[in-house]
Chain A
Amino acid sequence: MEKKEKKILGMTQDEFRLFRKRYGIAMVMVAMIIILSIVSPTFRTAGNVVSIALQVSINGILALGVVFVITAGGIDLSIGSMLALTSVIIGLVLNATGSIPLACIVSVAATTFCGFVNGALIAKFNMFPFVVTLSTQLVIRGLGYVLSGGYSMSLANADFKMIGAGKLAGIPYPVFIWLAVAVMAYLLMHWTKFGRYIYAVGGNINAAEASGVDVFWTRTKSFVISGFCTGVAGIIMTSRISAAQPNIGVGYETDAIAACVIGGTSFAGGIATIPGTMIGIVIIGLIYNGMNLLGISSYWQTITKGLLIIGAVMLDMFTNKRK
């Protein structure tokens, strides 16, 4: 199989290796799309494509934030709690002032600040990201409960509802927001000095420091980005359920991290691409959507997702010759 392909595409071994490294996971995605198109007629419909995009938009924005953290050699487990915090703050501000922009700004500022705290603790005191975000996750979740008194608030504001439910040319607003975040993430990661520093810090923190990279700020900023993206995703989520709830978002970090890993992000840091992450996001969306369409129980969705992550990590190891 592989040999044939090599001949057809006329690539040398090195070129092929590069090709596989870059497009291996994209091929998996294409294969999934082809298989699903064949077995499920519903899958091909325009309506379903739009649904998939809508369904992945929240996780997509989360993954685009957390990919910066993982690439810089960290991990962010506090995403789920930050979603709940966003939701609660929107509820409080919106019910008190009725101003949508204010609600959005305050909530995103709050999660961005949470990200800063995460990053600063980790980068300043050299603590393990896993442990720090594991504990801030609890703190932030608790904060959400304290602010809300534990109760969920219904949001009657119809304009706010439109953020999640509105459509332009048949495409829901969250999809546009997701794509806009993706473009920004792409530029930031691949076209700026900061993006390079993220790669360098994740790839070899000592070499980065010895090359004059401001390691503290680079690591901190990666968490700030994750916090910001989580805030944006939280706005969409709150709008879609049109309720402010302190108990939402549990376990959302898993899917976001999974999307990054499936998209070729190395957990050791230093290796990731935004297009790859987008593919990872879509693949997770395909698993959910495809299996729902085929009537496969959600138990199998979980298993498939797990196996795919292991597969993606193995792919990463072999293509990058890591041990």
Chain B
Amino acid sequence: MENSYILECEGISKAFGGTQALADVELHIKKGEVHALLGENGAGKSTLMKIIIGLYKADQGSITFEGKPYSARGPADAMAAGISMIHQELNPEPYLTIAESIFLNREDVKKGIHFLDKKKTNERAEKILREFDFPKGARTMMEDLTLAQMQMVEIIKAVSCDSRVIIMDEPTSSLDSEETEHLFGTIRGLKEKGVAIIYISHRMEEIFEICDRVSVFRDGRYVGSREMEGVTTKELISMMVGRTVENVFPKQECPIGDVVFRVEHLSGKGFEDISFEVRAGEILGISGLVGSGRSETMRAIFGLDPLTGGKIYLEGKEIVIKSARDAIAKGIAMVNEDRKTYGLCLFRSLRENISLPNLKRKQKRFILNQRREKEEVLEVSKKLTVKAAGIEADAYSLSGGNQQKVVLSKWIMAEPKVLILDEPTRGVDVGAKSEIHTLMCRFAAQGMAIIMISSELPEVMGMSDRILIYHEGRLNGEVSRREILSGGVTQEVILAKEFGGK
């Protein structure tokens, strides 16, 4: 029995700063099996995979590969040892040929002089491509391939390196059903050759179709493994949830007014046919897996990405938003999930960051009223309890929580009618988190309509008056606070909807 395991991880722990990403996790992979990894966002699946291919170093624990202790210094090292990973976001060199891609860093060189022997490399590549019935020749440029074909080249590359374990992260996320079937064919072929596949996916039906066993993770912990035969979706979902609600959410009930903001049949890249409305004083929670289209929808509403269809109404009137500037002018503000890229100018002061969207009101005949600016910034930063050396301190000198409060401050100063918050408490410590929640309630009480995206189910459930659930770019259900409070809707129910259930 022992010998049938090709890869064994024992007692792996990993912390990033104060956050425990993995705690005493185990994973056992058998030779020639397709093994699914399942868990919510942030359950620790990716972290564990990155440890296996050597991108991170585990704080504790041991990995055994083919009976010998194993540790990789990086993906190349892992590949040499026999473990490869096919990433979700493929990142090929577009101007290499297929042959050059496959044999990158393993090129044939002519004897004596160290020139490349392109002919030999191409011949070797052609041979492998034929084995996989690949439709293109070895001299084809990577940029001329479809996504599915690029992925196949990656898999071929892994096989050509004699990989005995191949990790596939959401391999079907950008494939159509035919391509998916082809991929499954390839996976079955690899299985027969004794290659073990670690298969990460959120698509239950695929897991049931292709996988032999499944391991479930939750909150950086290992929950358990099951044989796919005999297990039910319901059982798996209940294994995934159960995140403990550590803090009580400071949700205050406040009167909910008229509809402020409404969208109808919005479509764009990554989402389709989205309709919802938000009322004054309401916090609308949005739940869904990463990549399910929730952030994409909000970015498009805020004008950062284009919309391909649908209508937006603000206070009953249809509005057109072409850029963030339009959105802000109409009274819509958005706190982006990536605060370093979209939220702050890290090397400018707090004062400048906070007043950036609000300068119009402080300008008199071209000249800024800097005294008034200082007063207002001081006031808002005090109100939002920003802790900093002063309003002249550079943004990068602040902690994550305080940076987030600075981003909130700048939008609060803009006095928006609709406030969109994408992961407002990501990377924020517990104390600041609770403060941000309190602030959200206060804004709602002032009559703002708030839309909050969060990957943390307890947060969404604790803070929202209503929750929309996304699944693969579409809305897949809506639950109300009443249903949650009455216990009719549990984390399991929401998670099941996120995974496409009814």
Contact = CB atoms under 8 A, between A and B. Distances in A.
B348 interface: yes
A206 B342 contact: yes
A270 B343 contact: no
B347 A207 contact: no
B159 interface: no
B398 to A, nearest CB: 13
Given A192-B367, A212-B324, 11 more contacts: A193-B362, A196-B359, A196-B368, A197-B359, A200-B345, A203-B348, A208-B345, A210-B336, A211-B357, A212-B327, A321-B396
Nearest to B359: A193
A211 B355 CA distance: 10
- Chain A, interface size: which category? 20 to 34
Contacts of A213: 325, 356
Interface of A: 14, 18, 187, 191-193, 196-197, 199-200, 203-204, 206-214, 266, 270-271, 320-322
A322 to B, nearest CB: 8
B169 interface: no
B347 A210 contact: no
Contacts of B342: 206-207, 210
B346 interface: yes
B348 A192 contact: no
Given A192-B367, A193-B359, A203-B348, A209 B341 contact: no
Contact of B304 (A193, A210, A266, A270): A210
B204 interface: no
- The 7 A-B residue pairs with the shortest CB-CB distance in the complex, in nearest-first order: A203-B345, A212-B328, A193-B359, A211-B357, A210-B342, A204-B345, A212-B325
B324 A210 contact: yes
B325 A204 contact: no
Given A204-B341, A209-B304, A271 B347 contact: yes
A209 B410 CA distance: 14
Contacts of A192: 363, 366-368
Nearest to B344: A207
A207 B363 contact: no
A199 B328 contact: no
23 contacts: A14-B389, A191-B367, A191-B368, A191-B370, A192-B366, A192-B368, A193-B360, A193-B362, A203-B348, A204-B341, A204-B344, A204-B346, A206-B342, A207-B344, A208-B345, A210-B334, A211-B356, A212-B324, A212-B327, A212-B328, A212-B357, A213-B356, A266-B347
Contacts of A14: 389
B349 to A, nearest CB: 10
Nearest to B361: A193
Interface in B318-362: 323-325, 327-329, 334, 336, 341-348, 352, 355-357, 359-360, 362
User: Interface size for chain B: under 10, 10 to 19, 20 to 34, or 35 or more residues?
Assistant: 20 to 34
A211 B389 contact: no
Given A187-B367, A212-B324, A213-B325, A203 B357 contact: no
A199 B352 contact: yes
Contacts of A322: 347
Nearest to B369: A191
Given A196-B352, A211-B356, A211-B357, A203 B347 contact: yes
A187 B302 CA distance: 32
Contacts of B389: 14
A216 to B, nearest CB: 10
B301 to A, nearest CB: 13
Contact of B346 (A193, A203, A212): A203
Residue in A18, A197, A200, A271 with the greatest tally of chain B CB atoms within 10 Å: A200
B367 A207 contact: no
A264 to B, nearest CB: 12
Contacts of A204: 341, 344-346
A199 B366 contact: no
B356 A270 contact: no
Given A193-B368, A210-B334, A213-B325, A200 B348 contact: yes
Nearest to A21: B394
Contacts of B302: 210
B336 to A, nearest CB: 6
A67 B352 CA distance: 19
A13 to B, nearest CB: 11
A197 B353 CA distance: 10
Nearest to B389: A14
A213 B370 CA distance: 19
Interface in B353-388: 355-357, 359-360, 362-363, 366-368, 370
Nearest to B302: A210
Contacts of B396: 321
Given A191-B370, A210-B324, A196 B355 contact: yes
A270 to B, nearest CB: 6
A146 B347 CA distance: 45
Given A193-B360, A203-B347, A270-B347, A212 B341 contact: no
A134 to B, nearest CB: 24
A192 B363 CA distance: 7
A320 B368 CA distance: 26
Contacts of B352: 196, 199-200
A74 B363 CA distance: 26
Question: Interface centre among B329, B336, B342, by most A CB within 10 Å?
Answer: B342
Contacts of B304: 209-210
Contacts of A193: 359-360, 362-363, 366, 368
Nearest to A194: B366
Contacts of A321: 396
Given A270-B345, A271-B347, A208 B356 contact: yes
Contacts of B392: 18
A274 to B, nearest CB: 15
A214 B345 contact: no
A203 B356 CA distance: 12
Contacts of A266: 347
B341 A207 contact: yes
Contacts of B367: 187, 191-192
B196 to A, nearest CB: 40
Interface string B395-406: 010000000000
